[in-house]
């Protein structure tokens, strides 16, 4: 096997090993625009896909609309159940989205989730309500629960926890969904946590570097 083929095979194998063992799934630098429209933008948090279609997105989870003044978990019109629930100031479906702190633990026992479909209502909006959790045009964190396809048991749903970095604006502007992460094992996650460099991955990079040095000397 040629050196570069061996390196590629090792990288694929390590990626599969990490997925099989469960890990934090991270979507950095997505910077999805939240438009100032009723339809807003629907996002699939498992793939990073997004849509501004009025009916949402097949497989969609979160819907950010009205310039970020409201957030909904109705991201696909035909869906029978909501696959995503943001951390709220209470357990009601129209309670405001709560800004969570960096390092805060997100799981069923530490935060408030609602059930079923709902959105942060205009009266209780996180931008215009009382209390006002988010500062206009200043990035902040939200926590969430998400139903995914269990990576260890395909075809079975798994409830997991995650965080997202967002910038919200009042109704006269747009917002941004910057990035997000969740733990695909269903374990609790700390806000801001991202995957740690794998020891095996670092060994692979070292092996690749040695091979490149040998090729240059040859």
DSSP string, 5-70: HHHHHHHHHHHHHHHHH--EEEETT--EEE-SSSS-EEE-TTT--EE--TTB-TT--EEEEGGGTE
Q: Are residues 133 and 51 in the same domain?
A: yes
Mean pLDDT across 86-108: 89
Q: Are residues 39 and 61 in the same domain?
A: yes
The parent domain of residue 208 ranges over 1-23+198-218
Q: Are residues 126 and 190 in the same domain?
A: yes
Q: How many domains, in total, are found in the chain? A: 2
Q: Are residues 161 and 180 in the same domain?
A: yes
Q: Are residues 7 and 68 in the same domain?
A: no
Stated pTM of the model? 0.77
Per-residue pLDDT tens over the stretch 28-44: 999 999 887 888 899 99
The enclosing H or E element of 178 equals strand 175-183
Q: Are residues 204 and 182 in the same domain?
A: no
Per-residue pLDDT tens over the stretch 162-208: 999 999 876 556 789 999 999 999 999 999 999 987 544 544 555 55
């Amino acid at each position: 096997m040629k050196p570069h083929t061996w390196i590629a095979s090792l990288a694929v194998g390590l990626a599969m090993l990490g997925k099989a063992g469960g890990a934090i799934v991270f979507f950095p630098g997505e910077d999805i625009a939240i438009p100032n429209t009723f339809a807003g933008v629907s996002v699939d948090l498992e793939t990073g896909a997004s849509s501004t279609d009025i009916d949402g997105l097949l497989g969609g989870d979160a819907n950010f609309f009205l310039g970020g003044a409201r957030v909904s978990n109705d991201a696909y019109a035909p869906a029978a159940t909501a696959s995503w629930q943001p951390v709220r100031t209470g357990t009601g479906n129209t309670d405001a989205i709560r800004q969570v702190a960096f390092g805060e633990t997100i799981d069923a026992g530490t935060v408030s989730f609602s059930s079923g479909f709902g959105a942060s209502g205009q009266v209780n909006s996180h931008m215009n309500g009382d209390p006002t959790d988010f500062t206009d045009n200043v990035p902040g964190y939200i926590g969430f629960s998400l139903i995914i396809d269990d990576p260890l048991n395909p075809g079975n749903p798994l409830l997991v926890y995650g965080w997202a970095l967002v910038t919200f604006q009042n109704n006269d502007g747009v917002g941004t969904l910057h990035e997000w992460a969740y733990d695909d094992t269903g374990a609790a996650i700390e806000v801001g946590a991202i995957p740690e460099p794998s020891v095996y991955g670092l060994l692979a990079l070292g092996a690749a570097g040695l091979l490149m040095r040998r090729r240059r000397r040859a």
